[in-house]
């Protein structure tokens, strides 16, 4: 009997990986430990043998798609990948109905979408695990790779200072959740108009997280062990919105001058794709403090831990 049918028949509820804030720190740490073991070359076996994962991409993807496809296959599983034009979600079918159907075919679902309401509805009605491959408000898989990358280069992230410069976007919002779950100080420098949601910041602080907001990127970066930025314009923004964002965010560019305020051994992260010369300069992205491509590689390894946890195999 498939995992989906076992759940329908009255098994334990599925383990969804939707937001870092939904998951206890110990479970997140177990996922990272598995990812670290995988990167070191330790065999995790073929725990996904006989299992199929559906990947649904309503937005373009390079790293998320390839890292999940390769990771699932390396763990012995099968993949079926659906882009926006391949599903009925874009033609009026509800996420609830899609969830009910796919749960009878596959053992887990990964969704990358603009609208967080879609993944929440999908998870509500799915009887198999649903994994957040990116939404308009968060990117938790990216943060698992980012924490793994920091610790690979600089040791435990707990107690360290991470600085964000730029838009308070979905990745920034996942960094806020990560600060609460992994116990590091997060300083976010954003224009007032692009600050992260106040309720999310309040939640993190209530969890004991040290989250500091500023409009001064130099103040945010001062002494930080890690400096992070992201693209200024999402895939759905264009026209006047693009011009306005560039005007607001130009002072937040991650360049050599800004990086000079960080700790001497600070590392630089960017989740990619990068718009070189906009949010980050070539000098910084290709410089000795950049770990951008290690960070990209670690999506593959960290997501193996996420998959195994979600499927109840770790």
Edge-first strand listing for the sheet containing 78-83: 78-83, 52-57, 108-112, 130-134
Catalytic residue positions? 112, 139, 142, 230, 271, 299
To the nearest 10°, the Cα dihedral for 293, 145, 303, 86? -70
Contacts of 183 (CB under 8 A, 6+ apart): 25, 157, 158, 159, 208, 209
Encode the chain (314 residues) as per-residue pLDDT tens digits. Answer: 344 444 444 578 999 999 999 999 999 999 999 999 999 999 999 999 999 999 999 999 999 999 999 999 999 999 999 998 888 887 789 999 999 999 999 999 999 999 999 999 999 999 999 999 999 999 999 999 999 999 999 999 999 999 999 999 999 999 999 999 999 999 999 999 999 999 999 999 999 999 999 999 999 999 999 999 999 987 555 556 677 889 999 999 999 999 999 999 999 999 999 999 999 999 999 999 999 999 999 999 999 999 999 999 98
Q: Which residues contact 67 (CB under 8 A, 6 or more apart)?
A: 299, 300, 303
Q: What phi and psi values does residue 2 have, to the nearest 5 degrees?
A: -70, 165
C-alpha neighbours within 13 Å on the C-beta side of residue 116 = 9
| pTM metric for this prediction | 0.94
pLDDT at 13: 94
Q: How far apart are CA 309 and CA 307, in angstroms?
A: 5
The alpha carbon of 241 is separated from its chain's Cα centroid by a whole number of angstroms, namely: 24
């Amino acid at each position: 009997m498939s995992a989906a049918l076992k759940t329908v028949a009255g098994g334990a509820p599925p383990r969804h990986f939707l937001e870092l804030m939904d998951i206890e720190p110990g479970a997140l740490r177990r996922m990272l430990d598995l990812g670290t073991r995988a990167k070191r070359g330790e065999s995790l076996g073929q725990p996904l043998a006989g299992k199929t994962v559906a990947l649904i991409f309503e937005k373009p993807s390079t790293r998320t798609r390839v890292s999940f496809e390769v990771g699932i296959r390396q763990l012995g599983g099968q993949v079926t990948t659906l882009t926006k034009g391949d599903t009925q979600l874009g033609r009026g079918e509800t996420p609830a109905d899609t969830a009910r159907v796919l749960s009878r075919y596959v053992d887990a679902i990964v969704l990358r979408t603009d609208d967080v309401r879609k993944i929440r509805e999908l998870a509500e009605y799915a009887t198999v695990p649903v994994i957040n491959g990116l939404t308009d408000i968060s990117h938790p898989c990216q943060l698992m790779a980012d924490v793994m990358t920091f610790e690979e280069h600089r040791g435990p992230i707990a107690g360290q200072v991470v600085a964000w410069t730029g838009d308070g976007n979905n990745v920034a919002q996942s960094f806020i959740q990560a600060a609460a779950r992994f116990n590091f100080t997060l300083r976010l420098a954003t224009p007032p108009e692009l600050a992260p949601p106040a309720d999310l910041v309040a939640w993190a602080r209530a969890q004991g997280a040290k989250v500091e907001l500023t409009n001064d990127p130099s103040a945010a970066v001062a002494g930080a062990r890690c400096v992070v930025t992201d693209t200024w314009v999402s895939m759905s923004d264009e026209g006047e919105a693009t011009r306005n964002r560039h005007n607001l965010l130009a002072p937040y560019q991650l360049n050599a001058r800004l990086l000079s305020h960080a700790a001497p051994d600070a590392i630089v992260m960017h989740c990619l794709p990068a718009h070189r010369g906009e949010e980050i300069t070539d000098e910084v992205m290709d410089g000795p403090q950049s770990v951008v491509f290690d960070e990209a590689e670690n999506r593959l390894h960290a997501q193996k831990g996420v998959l195994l946890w979600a499927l109840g195999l770790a």
